[in-house]
Structure 1
Amino acid sequence: MTSDPPALPVTFRPGRTRAVLYSAAVACFAAITAVALLLERLGPGERLSFVATALLLDAVLVVLARPKVVAEESGVTVVNLVSVRRLEWAEIVRVNLRQGDPWVFLDLSDGTSLPVLGIQPGIARERAVADARALRALVEARSVPGPDPRQA
């Protein structure tokens, strides 16, 4: 069953997960900073170290909220935690989201598989399935038919 592909450009992100991570970052920073200010026995350096620790924790949470997939006319950009990979449409053979997978995987023409953390079924399974179908429809609409590697 192939659905109509969405209009380009389109960005896929785990929206609820991002909201939870950003909310947690704000709450952690506020709580740790409040503790640093409320503890009377702390000196200025110790208070600063509390705030620096809160900022470090927030940086980790922001990195966890970074993943996304951007589909454009020229191809797909996959942004994972610490890497960015640009793919041409022809490089993508298949979009996979199987039962139990933590995120989508792209099967690539070079025989490798690329995890796509920007579409993950964690706390929004229906959204992830819809996004995976939309990306699959885009890949199918823009791929060039070629020989089936399973028949080789």
Structure 2
Amino acid sequence: MSTEHGTPELPALPVDFRPAKTRAVLLAAAVALFVVVSAVALLLDSLSPAEKTSFVFTAALLAGILVLLARPRVRADEDGVTVVNITRVRRLAWAEIVRVNLRTGDAWVFLDLSDGTSMPVLGIQPGNGRAAAVRDARVLRALAERHSSEQPSGG
């Protein structure tokens, strides 16, 4: 959705961006992996109770890793953006976001920050479809531009 000038329509806040297809695949794979490995371990009579336990524990560990990979998202609200990547969560005020980038070949969006650093945002990634990622990146960019211009300077 965009206006006649190519600027995306801004959604009502708060809004979440997350790679839905990737998330669904990873969560389904986590459940399937845990169930299959645990079932095989419990059904094999040749394994000792300790070995069965280690199989189930390993399955849980691997499923947990897949769940972590399914975690990324971005939540934009009136006060700023919360970026949830695989193991880290970072809260940013709108004024901290200088630019939202999704260049050709990028695996996900990057935020250029006011402290001179760049931050990956795994919650918007072309792996779910380039058009959706570009749309989401444009919406996040427009939100950042609108909200950072509304905040008082000096601080």
TM score, norm. by length of structure 1: 0.91
Q: Distance in 2 between matches of 1:126 and 1:40?
A: 51
1:10 pairs with one of 10, 15, 18: 15
**2:94 aligned with 1:89, yes or no?**
yes
Q: Which amino acid aligns with 1:32?
A: V
- d(CA) in 1 for partners of 2:67, 2:8: 33
Q: Which runs of 4+ in 1 moved over 6 A?
A: none
Amino acid aligned to 1:81:
I
**Correspondence for 2:67:** 62
Q: What's the TM-score, normalizing by structure 2?
A: 0.89
Question: CA 1:62 to 1:45, structure 2 compared with 1: closer, same or farther past 3 Å?
Answer: same
Preserved CA contact (<8 Å) 2:112 2:118: yes
Structure 2 gaps, min length 5: 1-5, 151-155
- 1:138 Cα shift? 0.5
Letter in 1 for 2:51: E
Match of 1:19 in 2: 24
Structure 1 residue 143, shift from structure 2 partner: 1.7
Contact 1:94 / 1:108 at 8 angstroms: preserved in 2?
yes
String of CA shifts for 1:53-99, please: whole Å, max 9, x gaps. 00000110011011110101011011111111111101111100011
Does structure 1 residue 106 correspond to structure 2 residue 104? no
Matches within 5 A, 1:30-69: 30-69=35-74
**Percent identity of paired positions between Structure 1 and Structure 2:** 67
How far off is 1:45 after superposition? Answer: 1.1
Q: 2:121 aligns with which of 111, 116, 140?
A: 116
CA separation in 2, counterparts of 1:110 and 1:4? Answer: 29
Letter in 2 for 1:116: V
Aligned equivalent of 2:80: 75
Select between 123-132 and 42-51 the one with higher mean Cα deviation: 123-132
Q: Secondary structure at the match of 1:52?
A: helix
Q: Distance in 2 between matches of 1:102 and 1:87?
A: 21
Give the aligned residue type for 1:91.
Answer: E
Unaligned runs of 5+ in 1: 146-152
| Distance in 2 separating the partners of 1:39 and 1:124 | 42
